[in-house]
Structure 1
């Protein structure tokens, strides 16, 4: 699955905010998790 969305600092800030809301640790965020999160957001 190609990773078409570029990871920008703004995107990372948004992902970190979402992760904090879900009580996740930042280092638990993998490319796979990020891709799944973006995929879910784009639907």
Structure 2
């Protein structure tokens, strides 16, 4: 995601991530690990 980039592309990537965080176990583990490291989602 890039604040200065293509808004449609950013939105598409954001929606993919949101859906995967809700439904994919690998993504949930990745997000949990990154959060434990103090990183943002």
Give the TM bin, normalised by the shorter chain.
0.3 to 0.5
TM-score normalized with structure 1 length:
0.39
Higher relative contact order (CA 8 A, sep 6+): 1
TM-score normalized with structure 2 length:
0.40
Larger Rg over CA atoms: 2
